[in-house]
A and B are shown apart, each in its own frame.
Chain A
């Protein structure tokens, strides 16, 4: 039995592990995986398509129904299905070939190559029909994916800087602590001054729609409003008010950090809300596109 494992397989696996260690040390992400292997393959594929399109003289004019169009269409449709399979693949653990990094790298670069394959498949004949719908959905999916790649490459550093070694729950806990202190400090205030503080306490730090999440702007922030109101207030309990104002300032800072965090996370995640649903819309449109071609053959 020992002989069975001491053979080629183990050596190969050991070599693969060694390569993987080197990659880990260099922080090689999915973009530069294996020396841009998939970028090169995809680039070559695009070049092949563009050059052959220019060389092949399709009569009476290039379109998806020529032999060249069928070839590109078949490649494109299969590619779309394979690219969609990343969603399945990433949920499955494997241990040797086709690491998720390799798969993601191929997903990104072949997905970008699909711009050329899909567009050249159309022969640049676009119109208001299901065929162009499939193309448009494909382009939206690819562009949203491209956005995803860009934010994955650029935003994590900003996320880390903003976090300042706190966890998400620690950020929230800081706000809770200020809320408790605010509640205690505001007890002596009169009714007019209490209301804005109460509103600040009632404010949900996770409130705000997708717009607020993406822009990080909360123009109706109750904490900021309370700060303004108390700063403008006069009469009675000035000492207590000053304390509350100081606490509100601190809460605002804590809220700003949390909101910056939420914004960065939203920017990192939002493309998936386009990418994934539109992928399924694309597969539906692609099915309609293919079936329609054969239905009205």
Chain B
């Protein structure tokens, strides 16, 4: 009965040398201390680590001393009974103790199985010294990132598009293709943010007009009348040949199936939140700059003059005028001599706008009663429409009657006036007046006093009164004639035709043109800080009502320059004016549309004055003075 300690050494060539050493006694100690029978040079082993005892030469009891135990079959134990015939492997620190039985002896094999230190282990130099051991591989990262991006930003959006195909309206919430949104939608379309398919219906097909008119019915639906009536050949011929950039864009557009002439060519979206930008001048000037020549070359007749830029290239205005009394309205060209517009009235502007003279004095006498100053101003007679855009036609009762009174009698404090606009009624009213009212009764005829005879003699009071009274009905015809003839109330302002061939007195019809410039748009409201005479320069000198007082292009150009500031003359405060400021492509009758932030803000100081109401008409006795 004995223990044999076996040690195996490995030579450099890999040859193993086995040395056996019999150990005496039944009890053997194991530890780092050199006094132990089994000396294990391992720092992980205690100086006196364990005792190995065998009573019968076959069964072995291993007992660990205080502190570290040993491992047997993966468990850490302090005591273990082992049948050496069955064998066992115990672990002390980095060493392995194998217990086996050979013949009658118990063999204890001790060998180092762990490296001496961590650094002694074999390393793959290329991997250990680089970041490869610390970070996930570049290839893994590349594939992972690429796949994630493709899933989230390509597969996801296409899946979303596919799943809502043919659906009228997508539910609210997030949709994967919102990641494709190239820029915020304009405020008008902001609610479509999550529904790309409302406009982008088919894949790889550019947004069609059909998508626009699906919602924009009515006026928006058609092109403007002028453009809709033009044959497409004419529209194509009008286009200017594109420059380098235009050709590049057209090349892209053609190569990738993006047809020209769609709504979105002018109404560009995804250009930022807020109102959709006004259509730039370029989209008009593309055709209208030099268009006449191109149309002529293509065999079409040009109906409008060329326009490139308001500041430098715009035709003179062609207002709608009646060149003779009663003529049909036709377009005249400004800047080629005086233009007459017969509206049927007689009205000398110069007389009414004089700073002194009878009219100014009369106006001054009405101060306090009406909003007159020391003289008449334009606004005393001309009154804007409710929306402020245009000036309303002059109305006799409202705008003239404060001076040009038609009152002829006062009954119990109520003034009777002649009916304006109804000559037959005027005749009837005057006739009735003379028939029903006696002349003013002289004072001498009043009272109960007895009178002497002779009062009926020529020139005496009775004679004056009763002769007047007898002749009174016949006076009506004189009064009517007087009213319609020179010096009469009607004749002052109207052209009057005397009765003839069964017709009564006739007054020529008055046509006040509500809008002289039909193709463009002028907003008086936007110009209310400017004095009327600044633009209507001819008004203070105009002697005839037929003088056309519509300002010409040059008056506009005093302030308005081209979209990018182009101008022909010196301008102090320039207002950049794209085509869309005055012209509306879809011409739906309203003001040209302007983004809210470009709209003029109302100025308190100017809007503070209230527009006047209808003037009250009152009776003034002929001897009351005044005029």
Interface residues of A (CB under 8 A from B): 56, 58-61, 63-68, 70-71, 125, 127, 129-131, 133, 168-169, 172, 175-176, 179-180, 182-184, 186-187, 189-191, 194, 197-198, 201-206, 208-210, 213, 261-262, 265-266, 269-270, 272-273, 276-281, 283-285, 287-288, 291-297
Inter-chain contacts of A288 with B (CB < 8 A): 149-150, 153-154, 157
Give the tally of cross-chain contacts (CB within 8 A).
189
Contact of B142 among A133, A197, A208, A276 (CB under 8 A): A276
Give the complex CA separation of A210 and B44 in angstroms.
31
Known: A125-B272, A205-B118, A297-B257. 4 other contacts (CB 8 A): A64-B182, A187-B43, A208-B134, A295-B161
A202 pairs with B150, CB closer than 8 A: no
Contact of B138 among A58, A179, A182, A276 (CB under 8 A): A276
Inter-chain contacts of A296 with B (CB < 8 A): 177, 180, 196, 200, 203
User: Using a CB-CB cutoff of 8 Å, which residues 101-156 of chain B contact chain A?
Assistant: 116-120, 123, 125, 128-131, 133-135, 138, 141-150, 153-154
Quote the shortest CB–CB distance from A268 to chain B (angstroms).
Answer: 9
Which segment, of B53-61, B241-249, B418-426, faces chain A?
A: B241-249
Quote the shortest CB–CB distance from A227 to chain B (angstroms).
Answer: 16
For A211, give the chain B residue with the smallest CB separation: B134
For B121, give the chain A residue with the smallest CB separation: A204
Inter-chain contacts of A201 with B (CB < 8 A): 43, 116-118
B258 pairs with A297, CB closer than 8 A: yes
Query: Given A288-B153, A295-B203: A198 and B183 within 8 A (CB)?
Result: no
Is there a chain A Cβ closer than 8 Å to B20's Cβ? no
Give the complex CA separation of A280 and B44 in angstroms.
50
B245 pairs with A67, CB closer than 8 A: yes
Quote the shortest CB–CB distance from B288 to chain A (angstroms).
Answer: 16
Contact of B32 among A65, A66, A187, A208 (CB under 8 A): A187
B179 pairs with A60, CB closer than 8 A: no
B117 pairs with A284, CB closer than 8 A: no
For B184, give the chain A residue with the smallest CB separation: A127
Interface residues of B (CB under 8 A from A): 32, 41, 43-44, 46-47, 67, 116-120, 123, 125, 128-131, 133-135, 138, 141-150, 153-154, 157-158, 161, 177-184, 196, 200, 203-207, 245-246, 248-249, 252, 256-258, 268, 271-272, 277, 280, 282-283
What are 27 sample pairs from A and B whose C-beta atoms fall under 8 A apart? A61-B277, A63-B271, A67-B246, A70-B252, A127-B184, A129-B178, A133-B149, A133-B153, A179-B119, A183-B116, A184-B41, A191-B67, A198-B43, A198-B44, A206-B129, A213-B131, A270-B135, A273-B138, A277-B145, A280-B142, A280-B143, A285-B153, A288-B153, A291-B154, A294-B204, A295-B158, A295-B180
Quote the shortest CB–CB distance from B270 to chain A (angstroms).
Answer: 8
Give the complex CA separation of A172 and B125 in angstroms.
10
Inter-chain contacts of B206 with A (CB < 8 A): 297
Inter-chain contacts of A67 with B (CB < 8 A): 245-246, 248-249, 252
A204 pairs with B282, CB closer than 8 A: no
Inter-chain contacts of A64 with B (CB < 8 A): 182
A176 pairs with B180, CB closer than 8 A: no
Query: Given A168-B129, A206-B128, A266-B131: A280 and B119 within 8 A (CB)?
Result: no
Quote the shortest CB–CB distance from B292 to chain A (angstroms).
Answer: 24
Quote the shortest CB–CB distance from B129 to chain A (angstroms).
Answer: 5
Inter-chain contacts of B32 with A (CB < 8 A): 187
Inter-chain contacts of B161 with A (CB < 8 A): 295
B280 pairs with A59, CB closer than 8 A: yes
For A209, give the chain B residue with the smallest CB separation: B134
Inter-chain contacts of B144 with A (CB < 8 A): 277
Inter-chain contacts of B203 with A (CB < 8 A): 295-296
Give the complex CA separation of A206 and B124 in angstroms.
11
B245 pairs with A284, CB closer than 8 A: no
Quote the shortest CB–CB distance from B566 to chain A (angstroms).
Answer: 13
B157 pairs with A292, CB closer than 8 A: yes
Inter-chain contacts of B183 with A (CB < 8 A): 63, 125, 127
Query: Given A60-B268, A63-B183, A296-B200: A281 and B43 within 8 A (CB)?
Result: no
A179 pairs with B116, CB closer than 8 A: yes
For A206, give the chain B residue with the smallest CB separation: B128
For A291, give the chain B residue with the smallest CB separation: B154
Inter-chain contacts of A70 with B (CB < 8 A): 248-249, 252
The 4 closest A-B pairs by CB, nearest first: A277-B141, A281-B145, A67-B249, A179-B117
For B41, give the chain A residue with the smallest CB separation: A187
Query: Given A59-B280, A273-B141, A276-B141: A206 and B123 within 8 A (CB)?
Result: yes
For A293, give the chain B residue with the smallest CB separation: B182
Query: Given A198-B44, A285-B149, A295-B203: A129 and B180 within 8 A (CB)?
Result: yes
A179 pairs with B120, CB closer than 8 A: yes
A191 pairs with B46, CB closer than 8 A: yes
Inter-chain contacts of B150 with A (CB < 8 A): 284, 287-288
Query: Given A67-B252, A276-B141, A287-B150: A203 and B204 within 8 A (CB)?
Result: no
Quote the shortest CB–CB distance from B205 to chain A (angstroms).
Answer: 6
Quote the shortest CB–CB distance from A134 to chain B (angstroms).
Answer: 9
Inter-chain contacts of A278 with B (CB < 8 A): 145
A204 pairs with B248, CB closer than 8 A: no
From B118, B144, B256, residue with most partner A Cβ within 10 Å: B118
Give the complex CA separation of A291 and B179 in angstroms.
13
Query: Given A127-B184, A202-B117, A262-B129: A297 and B207 within 8 A (CB)?
Result: yes
